[in-house]
Structure 1
Amino acid sequence: MRHHPAPRPLGRRLLLGAGIVAVARPARAAWPDRPVRIVVPFPAGGGVDLTARMLAEAIAPGLGQPVVVENRSGAGGAIGVQAVAQAAPDGHALAMTSPSTVTIGPQLRPSPYDPFALVHVSRICTSPLLLVARRDLPERDLAALIARARANPATLRVANAGVGTVTHLAAELFNQRLGAGRFLHPSYRGTAPALTDVVAGNADLFFSDSSAWAAVEQGQVRLIAVTSAERWPRSPDTPAMQEAVPGLVAMNWYGMAGPPGLPDGIADRLAQMVAEALARPELRSRLEGIGFDAAPLARSAFTAFLRREAETWREVITRGNIRVE
């Protein structure tokens, strides 16, 4: 008696008949599936670090994973950004960026990464530089400063926070727009010592970051102008530099970037989360407390902004023959 095998289920007979073999594949893990690192390429306690910690706290609930801030400083920020540039592009390693790590630093010294190969997820915040003067400087406003610089070159000492910093390049841009040799440029090792010497009267002017605002409010220095394209809402009676020197715009900014190859889906989701966080009054208020304004720009707009910034500083660096020792 012949025994016939039991008939296969219809679905499987159709698959086999068509030459298709079903193979079970593990589902791809949803992102993020572990803590997300935000690398701050500068020491703890500075503006970049404080911004990163505020943002990490704001986006962690939406990610469903802890967001850990890791400080990896050195080489003008290059060490920390390089670590992220070399990380797996899976959205678990991100970097805080700034002019010194994207638009200025890589033009002054050999960079271990291509700043425009990074995926620039979102701009976070911006702040103008504040042109502050010692209290007893005879020139009380921007017009008087410009008149003196033109009539008596190399008599005004414009401090900076270090050769190649945005505070130095802003002063050099001012110098170039008025004519070479109009100012002296004493360099310091950071914002704090530069500002201290202006307060003490040992330097005349300083294109400071927004940390000088406290000294302005306390009457230790006078605010002459700001470098934003328009007047700064925090001090609406203070002129923007380009009201007297067209095109002199120099913004400090912080952003977020991921490694080359970061998937669009992850980058877009991060950009959306950053924008949503920056729309909350409490985070905007906290940023204002350290002198910054929430200014999200997502992906393509942010990258276009960075390319314009890099081109501006490339011209200043080339014309000024600026070198970092």
Structure 2
Amino acid sequence: MATNKNAMLRYMVLDNCFRNTGRRYFIQDLIEACNRQLLEIDPNSKGISRRQILDDIAFMESGEGWSIELARFRDGKKVYYRYEDPSFSINNMPLNEVEVNQLKTAVEILSQFKGMPQFEWVHELLPKLNQGLSTTKTESTIIDFDSNQYLKGIEHLGTLHSAIYHKRVLSIKYHPFEVDRPYDIEIHPYYLKQYNNRWFLFGYNPYSDRSDWNLALDRILDINEINDKYKPNKTIDWVEYFDDIIGVTRPVDGALETVLLHFAGRTGKYIESKPIHSSQRTKWINPELLEVKIEVMINYELERLILSYGSSVKVISPESLKNKITDSLQKAHSQYLLSGD
């Protein structure tokens, strides 16, 4: 199938023209009919050429297209086009080979998002699609996404997604790592966020001073809907909320700070190509040392991220963050000294 923009729209327009027995469509008429439709969806469209229309017709007549039977009638020196069978339409034809392959690729990609609430319908539809496409899995998968269907807590995604959408108040039995026993939390759910292959629920807890209560899905034991009036979110823009932080933890009364980091060697090249934050600005101090500047609120995830680069990164400022990282590294070093190994 032609890969140029709006190809399918042109095929549909041509199909309607070829079916119309009440009018003769010469090549210029076909161009004008396509251009009218293109201008409706894109007022800045510059139109299409005669060559493009002829290529489209050739594709529709080919086996890769729909193998249409198109008659050409002469009127003087000009030619007009019409289906040999006026009842024919590409809309009534089975999928062509290219369309089948495109759908197979789409099905393969979508099938990887298991556990994601917005893709639950895919897994109900997959058997029908595979049967209709007569697929036989003869080739290995050629694309993979970082999606773990066995991730603990992922089974709650659908329930929480539905509660947010339908504005339902929930009672959640929750067991964080730092306490011995689980406890119940009332939550008005607002937002689901994934970070570092873990999912988090944000919402309002009426028994807390914070308006952005945060629960890790892998620590949720049970969820029940309760008959309380839902308090909608009217204060937090979630896109802006996460713009100022790395991860999901936004410090109470947190303020933006300028963080200056130095990355060495290959790690610097990696960080330059894959920024750690949208505010990142970089400068090579020398061929082996990259300076990175970001504007963020300092939180637990930022500290963990810096520590994950080990000896390849050095905190230059602020001093408070530098001291925290230094302290963490000294404690880690002492663990090896105490082990005696």
Please classify the TM superposition score into its range, dividing by the shorter chain length. Answer: under 0.3
Tell me: higher relative CO, structure 1 or 2? Use CA pairs within 8 A at least 6 residues apart: 1
Q: What TM-score do the two structures reach when normalised by structure 2? A: 0.19
Q: What TM-score do the two structures reach when normalised by structure 1? A: 0.19
Structure 1 or 2: more strand by fraction? 2
